[in-house]
A and B are shown apart, each in its own frame.
Chain A
């Protein structure tokens, strides 16, 4: 059973800890208070990041930066043991080290944070959830791969669970699409947006960090929008559709399929509501995503506008590590 599905682990985390999650790619590199604090905690454990190597794992530490526990293991029993042992260490600290208000945390302002390794959802950016899943075709269309056939019990390890990423779209790109729709003809989506969707989000991230498509691996991409008749609520609706085909030069990895969807401008709020489905056949492994199913098999990506008020929906896209490359994906 995946770690955080265990009721006892969920309960202990909710009741006894402040729970945080972070991308180590940024944390181990950032040259500011946040990065220095994290590395000082990590250096007390086994992950000292020699030669810039990963410091990933599960850490328990005090607000003052004292490491109480660490592991990098998926086994729920071992994680639970680590949590309980960490709490025991915490309880045995002097009261003045652990009571509420005892530690004074200095202020860390955004302007003092390393901009090279800081990605923040801006007001003019629309976050979109991108859910990816390996499927099978059956008599009724599409279904889930039978977990009994895979052997391992942990869905995540076999890449059968839903993978999550976030697509960021600028408000100006939505406005450009709406402007083009006034011609009442099918218009190509802004090229940077099409390529951003293609290169960074039509990827197999179901088993780990995915390789993103290089521009020369995009063989076919023709995403278009066309104004449709208003819906029952009188809201403006655009239909989005188009084929895609990506393939590496050695043909060992590829993805070929179709995208269909709608962009609806919500009445009253003028909020753009995007709902797209990409589905097609994928094949091949990435450097960090071994274990692909043999042959070409169905892979689907569903895009739906996120709720920017939720911290979980403010996570930057995986592909925005190179920020300029993400936004200008057509170049």
Chain B
């Protein structure tokens, strides 16, 4: 089957304008990255300096004369939230 020039032109334009099957358009890729990445100024638990080694926390508490606050969860609080 021979395609007419007009049909070829339509196909060429489609190939350029529409992403290949399964492609995430660049604008969506950037949008989703922005929506899913915490900001630097995030005011939540991310802005606190957490110890992840309980023994190291205990040693620091002894050195500095402070109590330990431990957030203990099923699933790491800093890695499954």
A interface residues (Cβ-Cβ under 8 A, vs B): 2-5, 10, 13-14, 16-25, 27, 33-34, 37-38, 54-64, 68, 83, 86-87, 90, 98-105, 108, 131-133, 135, 140-144, 156, 161-166, 205, 208-209, 241-243, 258, 260, 275, 277, 279, 300-302, 304, 311-312, 314-318
Contact = CB atoms under 8 A, between A and B. Distances in A.
A21 B78 contact: yes
Nearest to A90: B67
A317 B62 CA distance: 30
Contacts of A98: 65
Given A104-B62, A135-B35, A260-B29, A62 B79 contact: no
Contact of B43 (A5, A13, A311): A5
Nearest to B60: A18
Contacts of A59: 68-70, 72
25 contacts: A2-B44, A4-B48, A10-B47, A13-B69, A17-B69, A18-B61, A18-B67, A18-B69, A20-B54, A21-B73, A22-B72, A23-B72, A23-B76, A23-B77, A23-B79, A25-B75, A34-B55, A59-B70, A63-B58, A63-B62, A83-B69, A102-B62, A277-B36, A301-B36, A312-B46
Contacts of A16: 66-67
Contact of A300 (B36, B50, B60): B36
Select the residue from A18, A37, A165, A311 with max chain B CB neighbours within 10 A.
Answer: A18
A323 B59 CA distance: 28
B5 interface: no
A98 B64 CA distance: 9
Nearest to B27: A141
A311 B52 contact: yes
Nearest to B39: A162
Interface residues of chain A: helix, strand, loop or mixed (majority)? mixed
Nearest to B75: A209
Contact of B55 (A17, A108, A132): A108
Contacts of B48: 4, 10, 13-14, 19
B73 to A, nearest CB: 5
B76 A22 contact: yes
A315 B78 contact: yes
A58 B72 contact: yes
A23 B72 CA distance: 6
Contacts of A260: 22-24, 29
Given A38-B54, A141-B27, A101 B44 contact: no
